[in-house]
Chain A
Protein backbone atom coordinates (compact mmCIF):
# COMPACT_ATOMS: atom_id res chain seq x y z
CA UNK A 1 0.00 0.00 0.00
CA UNK A 2 1.15 3.50 -0.87
CA UNK A 3 -1.13 5.82 1.05
CA UNK A 4 -2.05 9.36 0.11
CA UNK A 5 -4.44 11.95 1.50
CA UNK A 6 -7.57 12.23 -0.64
CA UNK A 7 -8.27 15.61 -2.23
CA UNK A 8 -9.60 18.11 0.28
CA UNK A 9 -7.84 16.36 3.17
CA UNK A 10 -4.87 18.17 4.68
CA UNK A 11 -2.73 18.62 7.78
CA UNK A 12 -2.96 21.87 9.66
CA UNK A 13 -1.26 23.20 12.77
CA UNK A 14 -3.85 24.66 15.13
CA UNK A 15 -2.09 27.46 16.97
CA UNK A 16 -4.99 28.12 19.34
CA UNK A 17 -5.12 24.55 20.67
CA UNK A 18 -1.41 24.01 20.04
CA UNK A 19 -1.96 20.74 18.22
CA UNK A 20 -1.91 19.23 14.74
CA UNK A 21 -5.24 18.51 13.08
CA UNK A 22 -6.36 16.65 9.99
CA UNK A 23 -8.87 18.80 8.12
CA UNK A 24 -11.34 17.17 5.74
CA UNK A 25 -14.87 17.64 4.44
CA UNK A 26 -17.04 18.15 7.55
CA UNK A 27 -14.26 16.80 9.76
CA UNK A 28 -11.49 18.07 12.00
CA UNK A 29 -9.49 15.30 13.69
CA UNK A 30 -7.23 16.38 16.52
CA UNK A 31 -4.00 14.37 16.16
CA UNK A 32 -1.77 12.98 18.87
CA UNK A 33 2.00 12.85 18.34
CA UNK A 34 2.07 9.36 16.84
CA UNK A 35 -0.78 10.00 14.38
CA UNK A 36 0.89 13.18 13.23
CA UNK A 37 4.25 11.46 12.69
CA UNK A 38 2.54 8.84 10.51
CA UNK A 39 0.44 11.30 8.49
CA UNK A 40 3.36 13.65 7.94
CA UNK A 41 4.96 10.82 5.93
CA UNK A 42 1.86 10.02 3.89
CA UNK A 43 2.70 11.60 0.53
CA UNK A 44 1.58 9.12 -2.11
CA UNK A 45 5.21 8.23 -2.83
CA UNK A 46 6.45 6.31 0.20
CA UNK A 47 4.93 2.86 0.69
CA UNK A 48 3.72 1.71 4.11
CA UNK A 49 6.88 -0.40 4.41
CA UNK A 50 9.07 2.65 3.83
CA UNK A 51 7.02 4.76 6.25
CA UNK A 52 7.39 2.08 8.94
CA UNK A 53 11.15 1.81 8.38
CA UNK A 54 11.50 5.56 8.60
CA UNK A 55 9.51 5.68 11.84
CA UNK A 56 11.49 2.80 13.31
CA UNK A 57 14.72 4.70 12.62
CA UNK A 58 13.42 8.03 13.89
CA UNK A 59 12.02 6.62 17.13
CA UNK A 60 14.45 3.78 17.63
CA UNK A 61 11.65 1.22 17.95
CA UNK A 62 11.09 -2.26 16.45
CA UNK A 63 9.48 -2.11 12.99
CA UNK A 64 7.06 -5.02 13.71
CA UNK A 65 5.43 -3.11 16.56
CA UNK A 66 5.13 0.08 14.55
CA UNK A 67 3.76 -1.78 11.54
CA UNK A 68 0.68 -2.91 13.47
CA UNK A 69 -0.13 0.60 14.65
CA UNK A 70 0.41 2.16 11.23
CA UNK A 71 -1.78 -0.43 9.48
CA UNK A 72 -4.60 -0.04 11.96
CA UNK A 73 -4.50 3.75 11.81
CA UNK A 74 -4.35 4.01 8.02
CA UNK A 75 -7.03 1.38 7.48
CA UNK A 76 -9.33 3.30 9.77
CA UNK A 77 -8.71 6.49 7.77
CA UNK A 78 -9.32 4.55 4.57
CA UNK A 79 -12.77 3.43 5.68
CA UNK A 80 -13.50 7.04 6.63
CA UNK A 81 -12.60 8.07 3.07
CA UNK A 82 -9.74 10.32 4.18
CA UNK A 83 -6.85 8.23 2.84
CA UNK A 84 -6.49 6.36 -0.46
CA UNK A 85 -4.02 3.80 -1.82
CA UNK A 86 -1.96 4.52 -4.95
CA UNK A 87 -1.43 0.79 -5.48
CA UNK A 88 -5.13 -0.10 -5.40
Chain B
Protein backbone atom coordinates (compact mmCIF):
# COMPACT_ATOMS: atom_id res chain seq x y z
CA UNK B 1 0.00 0.00 0.00
CA UNK B 2 1.48 3.41 -0.92
CA UNK B 3 1.29 6.16 1.72
CA UNK B 4 -2.10 7.91 1.53
CA UNK B 5 -2.20 11.69 1.12
CA UNK B 6 -2.87 13.66 4.30
CA UNK B 7 -6.59 14.08 5.07
CA UNK B 8 -8.15 17.54 4.72
CA UNK B 9 -11.29 17.30 6.85
CA UNK B 10 -12.38 15.69 10.10
CA UNK B 11 -16.04 15.22 10.98
CA UNK B 12 -16.21 14.96 14.77
CA UNK B 13 -19.54 13.50 15.83
CA UNK B 14 -19.35 14.79 19.38
CA UNK B 15 -22.60 13.20 20.52
CA UNK B 16 -25.66 11.45 19.16
CA UNK B 17 -27.90 13.35 21.57
CA UNK B 18 -30.18 15.84 19.84
CA UNK B 19 -33.41 17.62 20.80
CA UNK B 20 -34.71 17.02 17.28
CA UNK B 21 -35.83 13.70 15.78
CA UNK B 22 -35.46 14.19 12.00
CA UNK B 23 -36.60 11.08 10.16
CA UNK B 24 -33.71 11.42 7.70
CA UNK B 25 -30.98 11.73 10.31
CA UNK B 26 -27.77 10.16 9.03
CA UNK B 27 -26.87 8.86 12.48
CA UNK B 28 -26.87 5.07 12.77
CA UNK B 29 -29.97 3.23 13.98
CA UNK B 30 -27.91 2.09 16.95
CA UNK B 31 -27.20 5.43 18.68
CA UNK B 32 -24.27 5.93 21.06
CA UNK B 33 -25.36 6.63 24.65
CA UNK B 34 -24.07 9.60 26.64
CA UNK B 35 -21.98 7.41 28.99
CA UNK B 36 -19.96 6.09 26.01
CA UNK B 37 -19.04 9.53 24.66
CA UNK B 38 -15.38 10.59 24.52
CA UNK B 39 -14.18 12.97 27.20
CA UNK B 40 -13.08 16.57 26.67
CA UNK B 41 -9.43 15.52 27.06
CA UNK B 42 -9.67 12.78 24.47
CA UNK B 43 -11.31 15.06 21.90
CA UNK B 44 -8.65 17.68 22.60
CA UNK B 45 -5.94 15.12 21.85
CA UNK B 46 -7.78 13.98 18.70
CA UNK B 47 -7.93 17.58 17.41
CA UNK B 48 -4.18 17.97 17.94
CA UNK B 49 -3.46 14.66 16.21
CA UNK B 50 -5.73 15.69 13.33
CA UNK B 51 -3.87 18.97 12.84
CA UNK B 52 -0.53 17.13 13.03
CA UNK B 53 -1.46 14.83 10.14
CA UNK B 54 -2.69 17.65 7.90
CA UNK B 55 -6.38 18.13 8.68
CA UNK B 56 -7.38 21.74 7.97
CA UNK B 57 -11.15 21.75 8.45
CA UNK B 58 -12.93 20.46 11.51
CA UNK B 59 -16.68 19.92 11.51
CA UNK B 60 -18.15 19.75 14.99
CA UNK B 61 -21.26 17.74 14.50
CA UNK B 62 -23.56 15.17 16.09
CA UNK B 63 -26.39 14.74 16.93
CA UNK B 64 -26.52 18.24 18.24
CA UNK B 65 -22.98 19.35 19.20
CA UNK B 66 -24.40 22.02 21.51
CA UNK B 67 -25.81 19.17 23.62
CA UNK B 68 -22.22 18.75 24.87
CA UNK B 69 -21.74 20.92 27.93
CA UNK B 70 -18.07 21.36 26.97
CA UNK B 71 -18.77 22.68 23.44
CA UNK B 72 -17.01 25.99 24.15
CA UNK B 73 -13.97 24.22 25.59
CA UNK B 74 -13.88 21.85 22.61
CA UNK B 75 -14.08 24.75 20.17
CA UNK B 76 -11.22 26.50 21.95
CA UNK B 77 -9.17 23.29 21.82
CA UNK B 78 -9.82 22.94 18.08
CA UNK B 79 -8.85 26.54 17.46
CA UNK B 80 -5.69 26.17 19.54
CA UNK B 81 -4.77 23.14 17.44
CA UNK B 82 -4.91 25.41 14.37
CA UNK B 83 -8.05 23.95 12.81
CA UNK B 84 -10.71 25.85 10.87
CA UNK B 85 -13.74 25.14 13.00
CA UNK B 86 -17.28 24.71 11.74
CA UNK B 87 -20.27 24.08 14.00
CA UNK B 88 -23.00 21.96 12.39
CA UNK B 89 -26.06 22.63 14.49
CA UNK B 90 -29.85 22.64 14.66
CA UNK B 91 -29.48 25.84 16.67
CA UNK B 92 -31.34 24.45 19.66
CA UNK B 93 -29.27 25.12 22.75
CA UNK B 94 -27.44 28.15 21.37
CA UNK B 95 -28.12 31.27 23.40
CA UNK B 96 -26.62 34.69 22.79
CA UNK B 97 -24.16 34.19 25.66
CA UNK B 98 -23.11 30.77 24.44
CA UNK B 99 -22.58 32.03 20.89
CA UNK B 100 -20.48 34.91 22.17
CA UNK B 101 -18.36 32.40 24.09
CA UNK B 102 -17.99 30.27 20.95
CA UNK B 103 -16.87 33.28 18.92
CA UNK B 104 -14.36 34.09 21.65
CA UNK B 105 -13.13 30.51 21.55
CA UNK B 106 -12.33 30.93 17.83
CA UNK B 107 -15.31 29.45 16.02
CA UNK B 108 -15.00 30.17 12.28
CA UNK B 109 -18.34 29.24 10.76
CA UNK B 110 -21.84 28.00 11.55
CA UNK B 111 -23.87 25.59 9.49
CA UNK B 112 -27.49 25.66 10.56
CA UNK B 113 -29.93 22.93 9.55
CA UNK B 114 -33.32 23.89 8.18
CA UNK B 115 -36.10 21.31 8.55
CA UNK B 116 -38.58 23.32 6.49
CA UNK B 117 -39.31 26.79 5.11
CA UNK B 118 -42.56 27.07 7.08
CA UNK B 119 -43.08 26.58 10.83
CA UNK B 120 -45.59 23.70 10.47
CA UNK B 121 -43.34 21.77 8.09
CA UNK B 122 -40.15 22.45 10.04
CA UNK B 123 -41.60 21.48 13.40
CA UNK B 124 -43.29 18.37 12.01
CA UNK B 125 -40.11 17.09 10.28
CA UNK B 126 -37.86 17.95 13.22
CA UNK B 127 -40.42 16.56 15.67
CA UNK B 128 -39.82 19.60 17.87
CA UNK B 129 -42.45 22.21 18.53
CA UNK B 130 -41.19 25.79 18.37
CA UNK B 131 -37.98 24.66 16.68
CA UNK B 132 -38.53 26.89 13.65
CA UNK B 133 -38.87 30.08 15.68
CA UNK B 134 -35.82 29.28 17.78
CA UNK B 135 -33.85 28.66 14.61
CA UNK B 136 -34.77 32.04 13.11
CA UNK B 137 -33.56 33.70 16.29
CA UNK B 138 -30.30 31.73 16.24
CA UNK B 139 -29.64 32.73 12.62
CA UNK B 140 -29.93 36.36 13.72
CA UNK B 141 -27.53 35.80 16.61
CA UNK B 142 -25.01 34.12 14.31
CA UNK B 143 -24.97 36.90 11.74
CA UNK B 144 -25.00 39.60 14.47
CA UNK B 145 -21.93 37.93 15.93
CA UNK B 146 -20.23 38.40 12.55
CA UNK B 147 -19.98 34.70 11.77
CA UNK B 148 -20.56 33.43 8.24
CA UNK B 149 -23.75 31.36 8.03
CA UNK B 150 -24.49 28.37 5.83
CA UNK B 151 -27.92 26.82 5.81
CA UNK B 152 -28.34 23.13 5.24
CA UNK B 153 -31.75 22.27 3.82
CA UNK B 154 -32.50 18.59 3.37
CA UNK B 155 -34.98 18.21 0.50
CA UNK B 156 -37.31 15.26 0.03
CA UNK B 157 -40.66 14.36 -1.49
CA UNK B 158 -42.61 16.26 1.15
CA UNK B 159 -40.85 19.62 0.89
CA UNK B 160 -39.48 19.84 -2.66
CA UNK B 161 -42.40 22.05 -3.64
CA UNK B 162 -41.03 24.63 -1.14
CA UNK B 163 -37.64 24.98 -2.83
CA UNK B 164 -38.18 28.59 -3.98
CA UNK B 165 -39.44 29.60 -0.57
CA UNK B 166 -36.46 27.86 1.06
CA UNK B 167 -33.96 29.82 -1.01
CA UNK B 168 -35.68 33.15 -0.34
CA UNK B 169 -35.81 32.38 3.35
CA UNK B 170 -32.11 31.51 3.42
CA UNK B 171 -31.19 34.82 1.82
CA UNK B 172 -33.41 36.77 4.21
CA UNK B 173 -31.80 34.94 7.15
CA UNK B 174 -28.44 36.33 6.01
CA UNK B 175 -26.95 33.08 4.75
CA UNK B 176 -23.90 33.34 2.53
CA UNK B 177 -24.30 29.74 1.37
CA UNK B 178 -27.04 27.19 1.24
CA UNK B 179 -26.66 23.49 0.77
CA UNK B 180 -29.66 22.09 -1.01
CA UNK B 181 -29.08 18.51 0.02
CA UNK B 182 -31.42 15.87 -1.30
CA UNK B 183 -31.98 13.29 1.37
CA UNK B 184 -29.27 10.63 1.43
CA UNK B 185 -30.47 7.18 2.33
CA UNK B 186 -28.24 6.19 5.23
CA UNK B 187 -29.08 5.67 8.88
CA UNK B 188 -32.61 6.64 9.84
CA UNK B 189 -33.47 7.80 6.32
CA UNK B 190 -33.50 4.19 5.11
CA UNK B 191 -36.51 3.61 7.37
CA UNK B 192 -38.40 6.41 5.62
CA UNK B 193 -37.73 5.85 1.96
CA UNK B 194 -41.38 5.38 1.11
CA UNK B 195 -42.19 8.81 2.56
CA UNK B 196 -39.09 10.76 1.54
CA UNK B 197 -37.80 9.50 -1.80
CA UNK B 198 -38.55 12.18 -4.42
CA UNK B 199 -40.51 11.20 -7.50
CA UNK B 200 -38.96 11.24 -10.94
CA UNK B 201 -40.89 14.35 -12.01
CA UNK B 202 -39.77 16.19 -8.86
CA UNK B 203 -36.15 15.36 -9.67
CA UNK B 204 -36.47 16.66 -13.24
CA UNK B 205 -38.04 19.90 -12.00
CA UNK B 206 -35.42 20.28 -9.27
CA UNK B 207 -32.49 20.15 -11.69
CA UNK B 208 -34.01 22.96 -13.76
CA UNK B 209 -34.84 25.03 -10.67
CA UNK B 210 -31.32 24.75 -9.29
CA UNK B 211 -29.74 25.92 -12.54
CA UNK B 212 -32.02 28.98 -12.59
CA UNK B 213 -31.52 29.70 -8.88
CA UNK B 214 -27.72 29.69 -9.21
CA UNK B 215 -28.12 32.52 -11.69
CA UNK B 216 -30.71 34.40 -9.66
CA UNK B 217 -28.63 34.39 -6.48
CA UNK B 218 -25.23 34.91 -8.14
CA UNK B 219 -22.87 37.07 -6.03
CA UNK B 220 -25.39 37.08 -3.17
CA UNK B 221 -25.65 33.50 -1.98
CA UNK B 222 -23.77 30.41 -3.08
CA UNK B 223 -25.85 27.30 -3.74
CA UNK B 224 -24.32 23.87 -3.23
CA UNK B 225 -26.40 21.03 -4.52
CA UNK B 226 -26.34 17.43 -3.34
CA UNK B 227 -28.22 15.48 -6.03
CA UNK B 228 -30.75 12.84 -5.02
CA UNK B 229 -29.76 9.26 -4.39
CA UNK B 230 -30.78 6.57 -6.88
CA UNK B 231 -31.73 8.79 -9.83
CA UNK B 232 -28.41 9.50 -11.52
CA UNK B 233 -26.92 7.25 -14.20
CA UNK B 234 -23.53 7.11 -12.54
CA UNK B 235 -22.70 7.21 -8.84
CA UNK B 236 -21.07 10.03 -6.89
CA UNK B 237 -17.54 9.60 -5.64
CA UNK B 238 -17.96 8.94 -1.94
CA UNK B 239 -16.07 11.60 0.06
CA UNK B 240 -13.85 12.20 -2.98
CA UNK B 241 -12.66 8.59 -2.77
CA UNK B 242 -12.57 6.21 0.19
CA UNK B 243 -9.87 7.18 2.67
CA UNK B 244 -8.52 9.94 0.43
CA UNK B 245 -9.66 13.28 1.88
CA UNK B 246 -11.56 12.92 5.11
CA UNK B 247 -12.29 10.94 8.22
CA UNK B 248 -15.09 10.66 10.75
CA UNK B 249 -14.84 10.02 14.47
CA UNK B 250 -17.99 8.68 16.15
CA UNK B 251 -19.12 9.84 19.62
CA UNK B 252 -17.50 6.76 21.13
CA UNK B 253 -14.23 7.24 19.26
CA UNK B 254 -14.48 4.86 16.31
CA UNK B 255 -12.62 6.17 13.27
CA UNK B 256 -14.47 5.71 9.99
CA UNK B 257 -13.88 6.67 6.34
CA UNK B 258 -17.47 7.96 6.05
CA UNK B 259 -20.27 8.69 8.50
CA UNK B 260 -22.33 5.71 7.36
CA UNK B 261 -19.45 3.23 7.19
CA UNK B 262 -20.60 1.32 10.25
CA UNK B 263 -23.53 0.06 8.16
CA UNK B 264 -21.02 -2.00 6.17
CA UNK B 265 -20.62 -5.54 7.44
CA UNK B 266 -17.12 -6.88 7.88
CA UNK B 267 -15.19 -3.65 8.44
CA UNK B 268 -13.04 -3.41 11.56
CA UNK B 269 -12.88 0.13 12.96
CA UNK B 270 -10.24 1.27 15.38
CA UNK B 271 -10.69 3.70 18.24
CA UNK B 272 -8.87 6.95 18.98
CA UNK B 273 -8.59 5.59 22.52
CA UNK B 274 -6.14 2.91 21.33
CA UNK B 275 -4.09 4.48 18.56
CA UNK B 276 -2.91 7.78 17.11
CA UNK B 277 -5.31 9.13 14.49
CA UNK B 278 -2.48 9.20 11.92
CA UNK B 279 -1.72 5.49 12.35
CA UNK B 280 -5.39 4.68 11.96
CA UNK B 281 -5.58 6.83 8.83
CA UNK B 282 -2.54 5.12 7.32
CA UNK B 283 -2.94 1.53 8.29
CA UNK B 284 -6.32 0.57 9.69
CA UNK B 285 -8.23 -2.18 7.93
CA UNK B 286 -11.37 -0.06 7.42
CA UNK B 287 -9.42 2.65 5.56
CA UNK B 288 -7.38 0.32 3.39
CA UNK B 289 -10.26 -2.02 2.48
CA UNK B 290 -11.52 0.23 -0.35
CA UNK B 291 -8.74 2.77 -0.76
CA UNK B 292 -7.55 3.54 -4.29
CA UNK B 293 -8.80 1.51 -7.26
CA UNK B 294 -6.89 -1.81 -7.17
CA UNK B 295 -9.68 -3.59 -5.33
CA UNK B 296 -12.38 -2.55 -7.82
CA UNK B 297 -14.30 -5.28 -9.66
CA UNK B 298 -15.47 -5.23 -13.27
CA UNK B 299 -17.07 -3.32 -14.95
CA UNK B 300 -15.35 -0.53 -12.97
CA UNK B 301 -11.81 -1.77 -13.58
CA UNK B 302 -12.02 -1.12 -17.32
CA UNK B 303 -14.42 1.86 -17.11
CA UNK B 304 -13.36 5.38 -18.16
CA UNK B 305 -14.97 6.76 -14.98
CA UNK B 306 -12.87 4.56 -12.70
CA UNK B 307 -10.76 7.47 -11.44
CA UNK B 308 -13.76 9.83 -11.33
CA UNK B 309 -16.16 8.02 -9.02
CA UNK B 310 -14.01 5.11 -7.74
CA UNK B 311 -16.92 2.71 -8.21
CA UNK B 312 -19.29 4.81 -6.09
CA UNK B 313 -20.62 4.37 -2.58
CA UNK B 314 -19.66 1.34 -0.48
CA UNK B 315 -22.60 1.80 1.88
CA UNK B 316 -24.99 1.81 -1.05
CA UNK B 317 -23.39 -1.33 -2.47
CA UNK B 318 -23.73 -3.03 0.91
CA UNK B 319 -27.34 -1.93 1.30
CA UNK B 320 -28.64 -2.61 -2.20
CA UNK B 321 -26.38 -5.38 -3.55
CA UNK B 322 -25.58 -7.01 -0.20
CA UNK B 323 -21.90 -6.75 -1.19
CA UNK B 324 -19.84 -3.73 -0.07
CA UNK B 325 -17.21 -4.55 -2.69
CA UNK B 326 -19.63 -4.43 -5.63
CA UNK B 327 -19.97 -1.74 -8.28
CA UNK B 328 -22.40 0.87 -6.91
CA UNK B 329 -25.83 -0.59 -7.79
CA UNK B 330 -27.01 2.84 -8.94
CA UNK B 331 -24.59 2.73 -11.88
CA UNK B 332 -26.17 1.97 -15.27
CA UNK B 333 -23.44 -0.60 -15.80
CA UNK B 334 -24.26 -2.50 -12.61
CA UNK B 335 -26.27 -5.71 -12.95
CA UNK B 336 -28.31 -4.51 -9.93
CA UNK B 337 -29.59 -1.34 -11.61
CA UNK B 338 -32.97 -2.91 -12.60
CA UNK B 339 -33.51 -3.74 -8.92
CA UNK B 340 -32.87 -0.09 -8.01
CA UNK B 341 -35.40 1.05 -10.61
CA UNK B 342 -37.97 -1.39 -9.24
CA UNK B 343 -37.30 -0.11 -5.72
CA UNK B 344 -37.81 3.54 -6.82
CA UNK B 345 -41.09 2.54 -8.47
CA UNK B 346 -42.21 0.73 -5.33
CA UNK B 347 -41.13 3.44 -2.87
CA UNK B 348 -42.70 6.34 -4.75
CA UNK B 349 -46.06 4.61 -5.23
CA UNK B 350 -46.85 3.61 -1.66
CA UNK B 351 -50.01 5.07 -0.19
CA UNK B 352 -48.85 5.46 3.42
CA UNK B 353 -46.26 7.92 2.21
CA UNK B 354 -46.61 10.55 4.91
CA UNK B 355 -45.99 8.25 7.89
CA UNK B 356 -42.60 9.01 9.37
CA UNK B 357 -40.38 6.95 11.63
CA UNK B 358 -38.61 9.47 13.85
CA UNK B 359 -35.06 9.12 15.05
CA UNK B 360 -34.85 8.13 18.70
CA UNK B 361 -32.72 6.29 21.22
CA UNK B 362 -33.72 2.63 21.38
**Across the interface, do B218 and A16 meet the contact criterion of CB distance under 8 Å?**
no
Residues of A within 8 A of B108 (CB): 8, 10, 23, 25
What string of 1s and 0s marks CB contacts (under 8 Å) between A22-38 and chain B? 01011010000000000
Please pick, from A14, A25, A80, the residue contacting B150 in the complex, using a CB distance under 8 A: A25
A26 to B59, CA, bound (A): 9
A17–chain B nearest beta-carbon distance, Å = 6
Residues of B within 8 A of A12 (CB): 56, 82, 84
Please pick, from A16, A25, A78, A79, the residue contacting B148 in the complex, using a CB distance under 8 A: A25
A12 to B84, CA, bound (A): 9
**Across the interface, do A16 and B176 meet the contact criterion of CB distance under 8 Å?**
no
CB neighbors of A among B144-187 (8 A): 146-148, 150, 176-177
Number of residues on chain B facing chain A (CB within 8 A):
25
B contact patch SS = loop
- B interface, CB within 8 angstroms of A: 6, 8-9, 52-54, 56-57, 82, 84, 86, 108-109, 111, 146-148, 150, 176-177, 218-219, 221-222, 224
Nearest A residue (CB) for B84:
A23
**Across the interface, do B148 and A8 meet the contact criterion of CB distance under 8 Å?**
yes
Residues of A within 8 A of B221 (CB): 81
**Across the interface, do B86 and A25 meet the contact criterion of CB distance under 8 Å?**
yes
Residues of B within 8 A of A45 (CB): none
A1 within 8 A of B: no
Residues of A within 8 A of B222 (CB): 80-81
- A interface, CB within 8 angstroms of B: 6-10, 12, 14, 16-17, 21, 23, 25-26, 28, 78-81
Nearest A residue (CB) for B224:
A26
A86 to B84, CA, bound (A): 25
A10 to B108, CA, bound (A): 9
A21 to B9, CA, bound (A): 14
A22–chain B nearest beta-carbon distance, Å = 10
A9 to B176, CA, bound (A): 12
**Across the interface, do A23 and B176 meet the contact criterion of CB distance under 8 Å?**
no
Residues of A within 8 A of B82 (CB): 12
Residues of A within 8 A of B52 (CB): 16
**Across the interface, do B177 and A25 meet the contact criterion of CB distance under 8 Å?**
yes
A27 to B176, CA, bound (A): 13
B88–chain A nearest beta-carbon distance, Å = 11
